[in-house]
Amino acid sequence: MGNLEKRKFSVREIRQDFPALRQQVYGKNLIYFDNGATSQKPQFVLDAINQYYSKDNANIHRGVHHLSQKATTEFEAARTTIQHYLNAAKKEEIIFTKGTTDGINLVASSFGELLSAGDEIIISAMEHHSNIVPWQLLCERKKTLLKVIPINQKGELDMLAYEALLSPKTKLVAVTHISNTLGTINPIDEIIQKAHHFGAKVLIDGAQSIQHTRIDVQELNCDFFVFSGHKVFGPTGIGVLYGKEALLNEMPPYQGGGDMIAKVTFEKTTYNELPFKFEAGTPHIAGGICLGKALAYFHQFDLKEIEKYERDLAEYAQDLLSTFEEVTIIGTAKEKTSVVSFHVNGIHPFDIGTLLDKQGIAVRTGHHCTQPLMDFYKIPGTIRASFAFYNTKEEIDTFIAAVDKSIMMLK
Amino acid sequence: MMTIQEKQAEIVADFAIYDDWMEKYEYIIELGKDLPLIDPAKKTSDRLIEGCQSQVWLDAAIVGDKIRFTADSDAIITKGIIGLLIRVFDNETPENIAKSDVHFIQEIGLQEHLSPTRSNGLASMVKKIKLLALSALS
């Protein structure tokens, strides 16, 4: 894994790794609580981006020259890093994509080709739009049916309802590992096991889990796992689709172009092997290499320790927010990650978000691309503070004081 | 009676006394709270300008040779900025509105609220005010 020595977790030291955290906005020290949207980048990754473009830039897989071979080696080494990080059986199972959304669209388009009218796809009521709309498009195209696992008020999946939805008609279950809006950690082990009982495949949307928890795709036994590089301290525009080899082999290519072919004639084209079959055109080479670096950076730390630290932060914030009479916490699942979404009764989330911004605090407000979920809670949106391992309790104290001030101004 | 230009200059002067962002917003919030309520019957979907974050309702009526605007939003800061826009455009002729240039928002440092990415409906509101004026002219 990139040969970085294990490091003891120290938030003070970690903060030194992230230059973006050392800045002021509107004359205040930046407090970055929008990690659910994207994470900041450590110097280690920034240096790798700089190194690639200033020294190693070349197109990969085809060139015979030195630079091309160097870039190819680095890009493929990143694939191996990612394979080990996810504990995938083979590196051919790691497909580079543009991100989570791209990965889901790839599966919807390509795995979708194997489906027929009347087949069923199950998603959940807490999905991000990117894990809803690709399936709706597929349903229009192939006349498949979309079923939705309901949730309870706490924001937990109704697992009995899930079981009732499963049938031999179910071909795919596509659910999020962790809800971006609520922070709920879904029981994906059980979801996968139950789906497999009916012969259905399972896609796990790992956009919100990759940066918080250990992922072992073999232990999970999921068929697909997708995530974005930028949420795990890597660059934007790069992501990963993990798929089981046999399944990926069965699926037709997604896009046509260079790199994904074995031989092209005007009569017939044969496709390249995995993973290249799904990687048409010049990929995001710097992105792939630097995602490998980001995972190597993150892997220096004990993830269990980080998970505990982040959950402590969230609990601390949630407890303090709960002392406000006007505040309702949205998403109170028993199993939760470091996301605190809340609504202030009688005040629009946009107003709070704007005032927090002017106090140097970056949070996300709105529906978080989960409109059906907002409809469920009958609110226009929430204010979401999402924490990373570089955040501190002192920052939360400042945030709470800023929330207090904002409410006073808006009441 | 003040021209659109003069009204904008007056707003810029009003804001010049605040040197702190929170003070500026305190003022905007007050303006939002003071904005006359829109007739609930006029909060219809054809008057709705849907934003990703907050929503705006805009009603226009021609009275004599002038256009009268009333508007509302579900977010109070958005409402405050609406109040400023109405102060500038309300009770003006379609000609004056159509040829006017909105610069006060930038000058008081609120341009982020008019950027299309902010998606609070305000950018679309300015566009709609202009379009209403143009259609009244034709």
Using CB atoms and an 8 Å cut-off, which of residues 49-88 of chain B contact chain A?
52-54, 74-78
Which residue shows structure tokens 């597929």?
A: A138
In eight-state DSSP terms, residue A184 is: B
Q: Is A369 a catalytic residue?
A: yes
Alpha helix segments (H runs only) across A54-202? 66-86, 100-110, 133-142, 159-165, 188-197
Residues paired with A24 in a beta bridge = A29
Nearest to A350 among B22, B29, B75 (CB): B75
Q: Which of A220-224, A244-248, B42-46 shows the lowest mean pLDDT across its residues?
A: B42-46
The DSSP secondary-structure symbol of A276 reads G
pLDDT tens for residues A241-289? 999 999 999 999 999 998 898 999 999 999 999 999 999 999 999 999 9
User: Could you tell me where in chain A the CATH 3.90.1150.10 domains are found?
Assistant: 11-41+302-410
The average pLDDT across B68-81 equals: 92
Burial class (CB in 10 A: 0-12, 13-18, 19+), A106: buried
Tell how many helices (H) and how many strands (E) occur in chain B: 6, 3
Q: Kindly indicate the confidence band of residue B116, based on its pLDDT and cuts at 50, 70 and 90.
A: low
Residue A29: CB atoms within 10 A of its CB come to: 13
Q: What's the rounded Cα separation, in Å, for the pair A149 and A218?
A: 25
Query: Sign of the C-alpha dihedral, residues A189, A194, A198, A203?
Result: negative
**What is the fold, at CATH topology level, of the domain defined by A11-41+302-410?**
Aspartate Aminotransferase, domain 1 (3.90.1150)
- Whether residues B22 and A358 touch (CB distance < 8 A) is answered with yes
B22: number of CA atoms within 13 Å, CB side? 16
Would you say residue B115 has pLDDT above 80?
no
Threshold 0.80, pTM exceeds: yes
Structure confidence by residue, pLDDT tens digits, A120-167 = 999 999 999 999 999 999 999 999 999 999 999 999 999 999 999 999
Domain A47-298, what architecture?
Answer: 3-Layer(aba) Sandwich (3.40)
Nearest to A408 by CA among A365, A367, A341, A359: A359
Q: Which of A330, A316, A332, A307 is nearest to A388 (CA)?
A: A307
Q: Residue A41, Cβ neighbours under 10 Å: how many?
A: 23
Q: What are phi and psi of A293, to 5 degrees?
A: -65, -40
pLDDT at A232 over 80: yes
Quote ipTM for the complex.
0.90
Q: What is the mean pLDDT of residues B19-46?
A: 91
Whether the pLDDT of residue A1 is over 70: the answer is: no
pLDDT in tens, A316-341: 999 999 999 999 999 999 999 999 99
pLDDT of residue A296: 97
Map out the domains of chain B with their CATH numbers. 4-137 (3.90.1010.10)
Q: Each residue of A17-67: pLDDT tens digit?
A: 999 999 999 999 999 999 999 999 999 999 999 999 999 999 998 888 999
The segment(s) of chain A belonging to CATH 3.40.640.10 are 47-298
| Residue located via tokens 């027929």 | A116
What is the average per-residue pLDDT within A214-242? 98
H/E stretch holding A243? strand A239-243
Among B20, B77, B81, B82, most A C-beta atoms within 10 A, so best to mutate, is: B77
